[in-house]
Amino acid sequence: MPSCPRCHQSISATAVTCANCGLELKAHGHPGIELHRAQGDTYLCDSCSYHQDDTCTFPQRPLATTCTLYQDVQAAQQRPLRAAEIYTIPWWRKHSGWLLVAMLIGLSVLLVIM
Ligand code: SF4
Ligand SMILES: [Zn+2]
């Protein structure tokens, strides 16, 4: 069971605020929006992949202590590749239906000419 980062009391995984100390645990009061929080005196941006690849446009960057979009750069690097990232379908396989139709038309034309 997760615990509150401030008072360390056990909390529900869907709790929006800590029942003990009132710390905001989810963003915008919605249990489905994760609110990431920096540990100690660190900033989230230091270990965020959006800071590393310079794609973050949030005004709190690079000193964010809470963030809804935080993406741990180490977790992102260890993420297993999706099938689409490993294997790209060759062009002739993507258009095999049209190639078959073209070959049938070509064969028909050849048979008419001969
Ligand atoms: S997404 Fe959040 S944590 Fe990541 S760089 Fe932007 S402000 Fe920082
Ligand atoms: Zn608490």
User: What is the per-residue pLDDT across 13-64, written as a single tens digit (0 to 9) for each?
Assistant: 889 999 999 999 999 999 999 999 998 899 999 999 999 999 999 999 999 9
Q: What is the Å distance from ligand 2's center to 71 Cα?
A: 24
Q: What is the mean pLDDT of residues 105-110?
A: 95
Task: Please tell me the predicted confidence (pLDDT) of residue 36.
Answer: 94
Residue 85 pLDDT: 72
Amino acid identity, position 96: S
List, for residues 50-94, the tens digit of each pLDDT value.
999 999 999 999 999 999 999 999 887 887 777 777 777 888 888
In this structure, are residues 97 and 80 in contact, taking their beta carbons and an 8 Å threshold?
no
Ligand 1 neighbours (beta carbon < 6 A)? 44-45, 48, 50-51, 56, 58, 60-61, 64, 67, 69-70
Say what the pLDDT of residue 80 is. Answer: 78
Protein residue whose Cα sits closest to atom 8 of ligand 1? 45
What pLDDT is stored for residue 13 in this prediction?
87
Which pLDDT does position 73 carry in this prediction? 92
pLDDT at 84: 74
Annotated domain spans of the chain: 35-113
The rounded Å distance from CA 46 to ligand 1 centre is 9
